[in-house]
A and B are shown apart, each in its own frame.
Chain A
């Protein structure tokens, strides 16, 4: 099949969505499909730019390329699913969350003016049309599927995607707890820093992002920031850590728990983390606690035996999520 995988691109940014879509294209090719990635830059501010930029996708013609039909388009996140195609399948990473559950929070975008309120509604209406016309909608987590159904009435099948390919292994349950993720406020690395410092635990933070300066100032040298690391360095950190902290606010999916599990490491998360709660279960595959410094601090103190038991239970879950199964479902029907 000829398959176009669609993803918006925020220039100079790279995160889970980019890894996922690159992997999807590679895995499709590996299975004999002719697959390619289609990206369009996306800037969602100021004001109506969120709509005009989304609208760019509507003008694209992906029905064929160089005179040959494109059989399927797989759209992933807002606004790539605005693309028109007779066989559009959406594997939804997330909608434009500022128009939904992040509205009127510190992470929101729309103000209280009549125009801002209407702009938010226009994004919702656009979602209803663009997602409603898809042949099939998959969501990467129950959290994403629930949000979608609540906001648009559209039902999605939950289908997590495998994490990036790394040399996952478990070498030891060392003395440090690892945090992996983009350094922005929604990931709540600040809670981790405060919890780890309070307990005098060694903490290692992988990732870059706009919140780094504030977080480094908060840590005041007591936590190790290693920035962006290579795949082999990341696999090495996973292999040696005791446990992994991952507690974003109402996260869509989150590959990190799957990566941690493949390295047989338990995950510490919070009751409001969203997607990770599909697989992180308290005292089965990690810890799920209230999003407070005190609760997280207590949860980070995981003994070696517990870490091993919970990490292995997590691995059994992560190993069931394979590209073979996902691609079969994606292209069925």
Chain B
């Protein structure tokens, strides 16, 4: 059983490249895997099933969508909202018609008209203002013979969008616990926020909540680590905030190890998971997350959840205060976090679930056909041609059509 594996890979620094670098060795111990090369699409690997990792970066995933158009396969839907991807593959490449078509397919004529308004600069780009309202995931769902998702949230949205194929919900794998010394970071307690700092990470809200915390806990510090979008790079940082831009993997782990708790906020969510949050679980760090999408599905034993509403800053401040003032809670949450990383997010378990999904996808229909043929022949031999009851029973145990 051979899998053609399409994904960004290192030296790309994307989260999905990191994800695949982590997953591939464990998956390769279970199924034969050939990784597809970006510039060699015409020589696609011969395989029983193709696996496409799809995320929102058009540079990283455009070639993968192109490959899926040639040969449908299993899609790992890292984001449900693919508006950035579609806009990048159409408008940004001068193909406004394709962008308008995508909007019309999803939202009808109103969608096309909105697209015209974007192109004519009459309204701000939808991918900046309301991408979640226009996911533009339709084409990718049509190309997918099955989906691998990381959350109930994405599974539910895919079903609501009409996807009828198989969906396997497989947690994001956790990294093995690295042996790192905690970095030297001043402050007590130390909070950390890691990853690409863009508009959806709620950085202004976090900074406001942290400023409030400093009034009662002047020793508290906040690490902000990761590249920032242009708008956020100019934010004024309150006292107690340490800013680091791009850091090496080793430095990232070391800084995270120095934290007492990590913060991973998101709104709007594109349905994504967070590699930083998973790393924090690996290190046994309590989390503060937004109560949306995948983040909302983290168990409350490991993550405090903050709704991204008008009381967000208050709630965030309260969460930081709670963690700052309660060692016992931090320890209990840290233990739960580590348990989660070693349990359902354990790499070997995730790889096993991937292998199961891929094996079912590659040979499942042949198995079903063979079983149904056997059963139907036996029924027909004794003159039973209406086999509805048989089919229902087969369905019950997952071997029906």
Binds B, one of A9-17, A107-115, A181-189, A287-295: A107-115
Chain B residues with Cβ below 8 Å from A129 are 396-398
Known pairs A55-B393, A59-B390, A114-B363; A121 contacts B399 (CB<8 A): no
Asked if A51 and B367 make an inter-chain contact with CB atoms under 8 angstroms apart, the answer reads yes
Question: Once the chains are docked, how many angstroms separate the CA of A129 from the CA of B397?
Answer: 6
Q: Cβ of B398 and Cβ of A55 under 8 Å apart?
A: no
User: Interface extent on B, as a size class?
Assistant: 20 to 34
- Interchain CA distance A112-B367 in the complex, whole Å: 14
B397 touches A114 (CB 8 A): no
A55 x B371 contact (CB < 8 A): yes
Which residues from 5 to 61 on chain B have a C-beta closer than 8 Å to any C-beta of chain A? 31-32, 48-49
Cβ-based interface call for B366 (8 A)? yes
Contact of B359 among A47, A58, A118 (CB under 8 A): A118
Q: Given known contacts A59-B390, A121-B360, A124-B356, is B398 in contact with A112 (CB within 8 Å)?
A: no
Contacts of A122 in B (CB 8 A): 360, 364, 367-368, 371, 398-399
Complex: A118 Cα to B49 Cα, angstroms = 12
Bound together, the chains give a CA A84 to CA B362 distance in angstroms of 30
In the assembled complex, the Cα of A251 lies from the Cα of B396 at a distance in Å of 31
| B374 touching A48, Cβ below 8 Å | yes
A51-B367, A122-B364 known; A114+B49 contact, CB < 8 A? yes
* CB pair A55 B363 closer than 8 Å: no
Q: Are B1 and A114 in contact (CB under 8 A)?
A: yes
Given that A58-B396, A59-B393, A126-B398 are contacting pairs, would A119 and B363 also be in contact in the complex, using a CB cutoff of 8 Å?
Answer: yes
User: In the complex, which residues 100-134 of chain A have their Cβ closer than 8 Å to any Cβ of chain B?
Assistant: 112-122, 124-126, 128-130
Residue-wise, chain B 296-314 has the 8 Å CB interface mask toward A (1 for contact) of 0000000000000000000
B375 in the interface (beta carbon within 8 A):
yes
**Bound form: Cα–Cα A280–B390 in Å:** 46
A116 touches B363 (CB 8 A): yes
Judge whether A118 and B362 touch: CB under 8 Å.
Answer: yes
Please give, as numbers and ranges, the residues of chain A lying within 8 Å of B180 by CB-CB distance.
Answer: none
A52 on the B face (CB < 8 A): yes
Does B371 contact A114, Cβ atoms closer than 8 Å?
A: no
Residues of B within 8 A of A125 (CB): 360, 397-399
Q: Does B370 contact A (CB under 8 A)?
A: yes
Pair A114/B362 contact, Cβ less than 8 Å = yes
Q: Which of A47, A82, A114 has the most CB of B within 10 A?
A: A114
| CB < 8 Å neighbour of A48 from B360, B371, B390, B398 | B371
- Residue from A58, A121, A128 within 8 A of B364 (CB atoms): A121
Q: How many chain A residues touch the partner (CB < 8 A)?
A: 28
When each residue 39-73 of chain A gets 1 if its CB lies under 8 Å from chain B and 0 otherwise, what string results?
Answer: 00000000111011011001100000000000000
- Shortest beta-carbon distance, B321 to chain A, in Å? 37
Residues of B within 8 A of A48 (CB): 367, 370-371, 374
Contact residue among B356, B390, B396, B397 (Cβ-Cβ distance under 8 Å from A121): B356
B375 contacts across to A, CB distance below 8 A? 52, 55
Residue numbers in A under 8 Å from B119 (CB-CB): none
Check if B96 is an interface residue, CB within 8 A of chain A: no
Give every chain A residue within 8 A of B228 (Cβ-Cβ). Answer: none
Residues of chain A contacted by B359 (CB below 8 angstroms): 114, 117-118, 120-121
Main secondary structure of the interface of B (DSSP, over half): helix
Q: Residues of B contacting A128 with CB < 8 Å? A: 398
B345 to chain A, nearest CB (A): 15
Does A55 lie within 8 Å of B356, measured CB to CB? no
Residue numbers in A under 8 Å from B367 (CB-CB)? 48, 51, 115, 118-119, 122
Residues 155-180 of B, flagged 1 when their CB comes within 8 A of A and 0 if not, give 00000000000000000000000000
Q: Which of B1, B31, B362, B397 is in CB contact (< 8 Å) with A55? A: B397
The reply on B394 being an interface residue by CB < 8 A is: yes
Cα distance A122–B368 in the bound complex, in angstroms: 9
> What chain A residues lie within 8 Å of B370 (beta carbons)?
47-48, 115
Interface code B364-396, partner A: CB below 8 Å = 1, 0 otherwise? 101110110011000000000000001001101
Query: Which residues of A are found within 8 Å of B399, using beta-carbon distances?
Result: 51, 55, 122, 125-126
A51–B371 contact, CB under 8 A? yes
Complex Cα–Cα for A52 and B393 (A): 12
Q: Is the CB of B366 within 8 A of A115?
A: yes
Query: How far does the alpha carbon of A84 sit from the alpha carbon of B394 in the complex, in Å?
Result: 12
Nearest residue in A to B362 (C-beta to C-beta)? A114
1/0 per residue, CB under 8 A from A, across B321-343: the answer is 00000000000000000000000
A82, A116, A120: the one contacting B397 at CB < 8 Å is: A82
Give the nearest-CB partner of A118 in chain B. Answer: B363
Contact call A113/B393, Cβ cutoff below 8 A: no
* Closest CB in chain B relative to A60 CB, distance in Å: 10
Q: How far is the CB of A153 from chain B (nearest CB, A)?
A: 10
Chain B nearest CB: distance from A111 CB in Å?
Answer: 9
CA distance A49 to B397 in the complex (A): 15
CA distance A182 to B379 in the complex (A): 37
Mark interface residues in A76-117 (1 if CB within 8 Å of B CB, else 0): 000000101000000000000000000000000000111111
How far is it, in angstroms, between the C-alpha of A98 and the C-alpha of B271 when the chains are bound?
Answer: 38
Q: Are B396 and A114 in contact (CB under 8 A)?
A: no
Ranked nearest first, the 4 interchain pairs of A and B with the lowest CB-CB distance are A118-B363, A114-B363, A117-B359, A114-B362
Residues of chain B having any CB pair with chain A under 8 Å? 1, 31-32, 48-49, 356, 359-360, 362-364, 366-368, 370-371, 374-375, 390, 393-394, 396-399
- Chain A residues engaging chain B, CB cutoff 8 angstroms: 47-49, 51-52, 54-55, 58-59, 82, 84, 112-122, 124-126, 128-130
Ordered by A's residue number, 5 sampled pairs between the chains whose C-beta atoms are within 8 Å are A51-B367, A51-B399, A114-B48, A122-B368, A129-B398
Contacts A52-B375, A117-B31, A122-B368 aside, 16 further interface pairs with beta carbons under 8 A come to A47-B370, A48-B371, A48-B374, A55-B399, A58-B396, A58-B397, A59-B390, A84-B396, A114-B359, A114-B362, A114-B363, A116-B363, A117-B1, A117-B363, A118-B363, A124-B356
